[in-house]
Amino acid sequence: MTNELPKKQLVADSFGRAAAHYDDVAVLQRQTGDELLERLDLVKIKPKRIVDLGVGTGRNLNYLAQRYPGAQLIAVDIATGMLQQARQNYYQQQGLKRWLPSRNKMHYIAGDAEKLPFEDNSVDLIFANLALQWCDPRTSYAEIQRVLSPEGLVMFTTLGPDTLSELRHSWAQVDDFPHVNLFYDMHDVGEAMTEAGLAGIVLDADRYILTYDDSMALMKDLKILGARNVNRERKRGLTGKHALEKVRQAYEQFRKEGVLPATYEVVFGHAWKGVQAQKMAEDGSVAIPINQIQRK
């Protein structure tokens, strides 16, 4: 029996505490967020209600507001500390624009991607940058499919299993505990999305390599980001200096051209609301959104 907090609470607490300094080290998150927004530019939609799921400090909110003036924007995060930071950042970024008639209606809601606080068929666009890797894909994509409106779209990035492979290998030389979170691979994600009933699923993966002078700096960044190890079998308690020194030495095997790489496997995905979840009309007909007809 353990009196430790459940996984969700650990994630919420850890990100909540990280909110104030998260932006100082969120290099990868900025990069993938920008790329996801660029991909969104290619899609012709006019969403009325948009959810930034796992909004973090809200860096993408301002862009979404500019891109879709007048739309209702809902920032959702499991960590209330992140929501407060997002609200504050958005307020500052908007400046005087917040008085314009075309301003976006903003809402900040503490919620779980595995139990979205929305009615069925009620959200036109779900944008989720590097948040869904914290969730069970079966539950979260089923929730996304449930709440998307008939022509709704989800666009996201998540992390794949090669993420932080150097750190994982280095720890494996020190003890048998999992020190790095495990991530689902693109096929598991695709399967979960298909099972959820989403349609027009597109997935691709890319590798990003951040470089560090030493591996302690990487571990420090992960801590500042709030990305803590939530493996059930993880080692409890503080990590000793001796163990950390061993990891540091093991990580040196990856040094190349004077720097240490930290690999991130990023999966980009988008999909539309699947038709099977739509209600049949009384005469037995089913209305299929035009975008889905085009892609079949």
Ligand X SMILES: C[S@@+](CC[C@H](N)C(=O)[O-])C[C@H]1O[C@@H](n2cnc3c(N)ncnc32)[C@H](O)[C@@H]1O
Minimum Å gap between C-beta 113 and ligand X is 4
Q: Which of 47, 54, 137, 197 binds ligand X (CB under 6 A)?
A: 54
Q: Of residues 85, 114, 166, 189, which one binds ligand X by CB under 6 A?
A: 114
Length of the chain: 296
For the bound state, the minimum distance from the C-beta of residue 116 to ligand X, rounded and expressed in Å, comes to 9
Choices 64-72, 77-85, 95-103, 201-209 (CB under 6 A): range interacting with ligand X: 77-85
One-letter amino acid identity for 243?
A
Instruction: Tokens for 89, please give them.
Output: 């950042």
Look-up: residue for tokens 């959702």?
Answer: 76
| 25 CB-near residues (< 8 Å, 6+ apart) | 221, 224, 225
14 versus 170: smaller Cβ distance to ligand X: 14
Question: What is the C-alpha separation between 5 and 2, in angstroms, rounded?
Answer: 9
CB neighbour list of residue 99: distance below 8 Å, 6 or more residues apart: none
Min CB(33)–ligand X separation in Å: 4
Helix (H) / strand (E) element for 266: namely strand 260-272
Restricted to residues 164-183, the positions that interact with ligand X (CB under 6 A) are none
Among 25, 61, 75, 77, binds ligand X (CB under 6 A): 77
* Tokens 């009384």, residue located: 282
Cα separation, 137 vs 135, whole angstroms: 6
Binding to ligand X by residue 129, rule CB under 6 A? yes
Q: Which residues in 5-44 contact ligand X (CB under 6 A)? A: 11, 15, 26, 29, 33
- Is residue 159 a contact residue for ligand X (CB under 6 A)? no
Terminal CA-to-CA distance of the chain, rounded, Å? Answer: 52
Confirm if 109 and 117 have CB atoms less than 8 A apart.
yes
The whole-angstrom separation of Cα 197 and Cα 273 is: 8
Residue 15 Cβ vs ligand X, minimum distance, rounded to whole Å: 3
Among 78, 198, 250, 260, binds ligand X (CB under 6 A): 78
Query: Does residue 137 interact with ligand X by CB under 6 A?
Result: no
Residue from 51, 74, 75, 79 touching ligand X (CB under 6 A): that is: 79
Which region, judged by CB under 6 A, interacts with ligand X, from 106-114, 190-198, 231-239, 257-265?
106-114
| Contact (Cβ atoms closer than 8 angstroms) between residue 140 and residue 114 | yes
Using CB under 6 A, list all residues that contact ligand X.
11, 15, 26, 29, 33, 54-56, 59-60, 76-79, 82, 112-114, 129-131, 134-135
